[in-house]
Structures are given as C-alpha cells and as structure tokens.
Structure 1
Amino acid sequence: MSSPHPEKISLAASSTVYTYHCLCSHLLLATTTPLPALPTRQNSLDKAHIMPLPPPPTAHSQSPRHRHAHSEPAASLDHYGLLLSATLDRKPEIVRSDDGFEKRYMQRCGRCALVVGYQLDWQQFAGERVGRREDVVFLLPGGLMTTREMVMGKKVDVEIGVGTVEVVQG
C-alpha cells in the first residue's frame, strides 16, 4: 500500500524524516522538522529557514564503546537535520544587507550548483569565535521542493528579486 505522503519515511511511531530536493531533483536534505515549521530570519530580506545542524562527530564519539554511553539528551532529539549532498563554497561571499554586510559561505546543490542555503561567519556575532558557524544552516525559500512535489511533477514558482521565475519539472 503506498503512503499518501511519499516525502515522509517513518522510522518509528513518533519519528518522521522529511526529504527535500533541489529544483534539479537532486536529493539535498533530510530533517525531522518540515521546512515550514522551522523559524525564519526576520531581519533579512531572504526570509531563510533556520535549520540547526548536529555537532560534528568527535573521535571519542566514533568509538563503538562510547557511542551509546554518552547519548544526547532527549531534548536534542526533537529535531535532527542533515545536508546530504550539498557542497560548501570554500571562500565566503560578502552580501550587503539592511544592517550592513554579511559574510556567507554558500551551500550549493551537488549536481547543478544552485545556491540552496548558506552559513554565516562567527565574526557577525558577539564573542571571540572566528570562522564559519557549523551549528546552523540558513535554507533559502524556493530552492528546495519536497519529495512529494518532485514525484508529482508539481510546478514550482520561485520568487527571485523583483520578478518570478517558473520552474517546471519534466
């Protein structure tokens, strides 16, 4: 029996994974929180979705003996999201915003190189840290479609700047 929501993959009774693809149909994102439920940037013109990322694995956490001994607290299991086949630009781009300038590291589709999101530099936040923030990614609206939208061949209207671009899967 086929599922009415092909973008959902049930892992357990309470866990659902939502998958998203680039406009070129390349699988890019898996998350336990659907994009519309994620918070968005309010002080930015792009209104990007803010998706927390899991911490990078450490050598200590890779060991089979320690993998379950130091499990994450239950609160951190409420959301889990991964970029699956996006490529990260090595050099940041400087983007002018209403508040000044932002240093963005662009996340691109691994197949067609469309920018689907970005990560910010720590210099933009108060504190001593430097370099790219690895704890969050900002996903651009209009750059991703659900697996269901892709399978159904849905037309995706994407607003870019002052105009609208119509992307048709075919």
Structure 2
Amino acid sequence: MAEPTTQRHQIHTQHCRFCNHLLLATTRDIPTLPRRSGEGKDNALILPLERTNESELEAELEAEAQSTSNSNSNSTQGQAQTGKTRQSSNHTTLLLATTIPDRRATLIRREDGIEKRVLLR
C-alpha cells in the first residue's frame, strides 16, 4: 500500500516597505486573497480563519458530501472532491508578534452594523 503524499505549500511573506521587517508569513497566495471593498472601506486583505480542530473540518466535509449526493453526483467524484478539500485547507498564517496592538480600539459605524478595529504598530 502506498503512503499518501503530503503536499507542502509555498510560504509567501509580506515585508515593511520602509525597514524591510517581516510582517506576515502565510501559505496562502497573497495577491489572490480577497480585499474589503465598497465605500469607506480600506481595501485591507481578508485572511480566512483557520480551523481550530478536526471536527469542524469533518462537519464541513460531511455537508459537502451530502450536497453533492443530493445533486445526483457520482460517489467517486464526491470522494475525490472531499480529498481535494481536505488537502487544500491545510494553510497556515502567522502575524508576527513583534507588532504591538494600540491600547484603544477604533469603532466604525456602518449601515450594516459596527466594526471594531485595532491598529497594530
């Protein structure tokens, strides 16, 4: 029996423009990450939250499998898609601890609610 091969993701980094200090290291492709858009928004990068445990991943995969089986998909296609989802979700992002959060958070009112932002220096 052949052992499953683990795919290693390339690490992408983001550095300070002025001092070249390392700020962010991630296995996600930085240019393809979604950004905030719309009026009054700062066009910041949106990093998806990492899963904290394996049960969240299993629940999501079961929901996907049920939705694909309900649409009369072939069971082998569902298994291949499940494996692909499991493999692509092993991303890691590190925001380096050398940044110091501001003491006071900034509250921003929007038409859809309130947003709390903390400036990292």
How far apart, in 2, do the equivalents of 1:29 and 1:45 lie?
Answer: 21
Matched, 1:102 2:102: no
Which residue does 2:11 correspond to in 1?
A: 17
The one-letter amino acid of 2:99's match is A
CA RMSD, Structure 1 to Structure 2 (Å): 3.3
Matched, 1:39 2:39: no
How far apart, in 2, do the equivalents of 1:81 and 1:28 lie?
Answer: 11
How far apart, in 2, do the equivalents of 1:46 and 1:97 lie?
Answer: 13
Which has the higher Rg, Structure 1 or Structure 2?
Answer: 2
Higher helix share: 2
Q: Which runs of 5+ in 2 are unaligned?
A: 1-5, 58-85
TM-score by length of 1: 0.39
Cα deviation 1:101-149 (Å, max 9, x = unaligned): 53211122xxxxxxxxxxxxxxxxxxxxxxxxxxxxxxxxxxxxxxxxx
Q: Which runs of 5+ in 1 are unaligned?
A: 1-11, 62-69, 109-170
Which residue does 2:82 correspond to in 1?
A: none
How far apart, in 1, do the equivalents of 2:92 and 2:50 lie?
Answer: 7
Structure 2 CA distance for partners of 1:87 and 1:34, relative to 1, 3 Å? farther
Please show how residues 51-90 of structure 1 align to structure 2 within 5 Å. Answer: 51-54=47-50, 73=57, 74=86, 75-77=88-90, 79-84=91-96, 85-90=98-103
Higher strand share: 1
Count of residues in Structure 1 that have an aligned counterpart in Structure 2: 84
The one-letter amino acid of 2:11's match is V
C-alpha deviation, 1:23, in angstroms: 1.8
The runs of at least 4 consecutive aligned structure 1 residues that moved more than 4 Å come to 70-73, 96-101
TM-score by length of 2: 0.51
Structure 2 CA distance for partners of 1:98 and 1:15, relative to 1, 3 Å? same
Q: Percent identity?
A: 42
How far apart, in 2, do the equivalents of 1:82 and 1:72 lie?
Answer: 21
Cα deviation 1:35-80 (Å, max 9, x = unaligned): 2110111235311110134467xxxx9xxxxxxxx69853531x32
